[in-house]
A and B are shown apart, each in its own frame.
Chain A
Amino acid sequence: MRPITSEVDKSAYSFLIVDDSLFARKNIAKAVEAIGGNVVGEAVNGREAVEKYFELRPDLVLMDISMPEMEGIEALGLIRERDSSAKVVIVSSLGHQEMVKKGISLGAKHFISKPVVLEKAADIIKFVLAQKG
């Protein structure tokens, strides 16, 4: 999955950010803001992510892998099981390659590695949003 820069109707998109780190949530939110997106919700673990996804129905979920209570991969699976059109991008440190592969097999649309490089993250987000289905 090679990120490409593509223009999208930026203001129309809503985002759910899922990470147990406050810093990480604030940081990835900068990439969302950079493309004019709107963070409509935040969650600190996978369980909260599933609840908020179905409450808020965001256009894109930015999901960490390693979190307490329920990890991101399990949350991704639960979201995609009930909504196969859900767009989820994994945001995680290197070292979770096996989990990332599992995430992609469960339907994650892309992967953003930490430390997040804002320009790259914004490109990936735009690429995923521009994808059909």
Chain B
Amino acid sequence: MRIEFINPFVEAALSVLDAVLQEPSSKGEMTLERGLAQRESFSVSFGLTGGIEGMVLFDANERTAMDIAGAMNGRRFEEMEPLVLDSMAELMNMIIGSSVSLLNESGFRFELTPPSILWGRDMKLFPINLETLKVPLHSPKGVLTISISMKPRVG
């Protein structure tokens, strides 16, 4: 997996999180795994198509999702109500938008599918035949992990 493809997602995520939460977030240690892309109970995923195929997934536990959404909306959430899901999807849209901008500047050309929300306990998501690079982002509201599974398109 090409590292220059990953960094824009991390850079954009940190920048958007800082802007939205008004407090700095930091990058944790990257790990490369085969298979498992999701660990936590709430995630937002985007498909990659075009010159690159794969998936970008953001996941967090419910408390973190509610606390991030709470900071975005200026209130506290105690349940995963629709505004939490909507706010998290919008947050990921902003991160993805900024990432694409950075990647386009680096010469990568691809398209993203609209976001999908996956929410439920004990889910496992396995991209087939793709390695997954995971980068935890430590925000003031909890850990948000970016998982990127991709490969250049063949043919």
- Chain A residues with CB under 8 Å of chain B are 21-24, 26-27, 66, 68, 92-97, 114-115, 117
Contacts and interface: CB of A to CB of B under 8 A. Distances in A.
A94 B101 CA distance: 6
Contact of A117 (B19, B73, B96): B19
Interface in B52-82: 69, 72-73, 82
Interface residues of B, number: 22
A93 B94 contact: yes
A97 B101 contact: yes
Nearest to B92: A93
Given A94-B98, A96-B97, A23 B83 contact: yes
Contacts of A115: 16, 19-20, 94
A94 B73 contact: no
Given A95-B104, A97-B101, A115-B20, A22 B83 contact: yes
B98 A23 contact: no
A96 B111 CA distance: 11
B86 interface: yes
A117 to B, nearest CB: 7
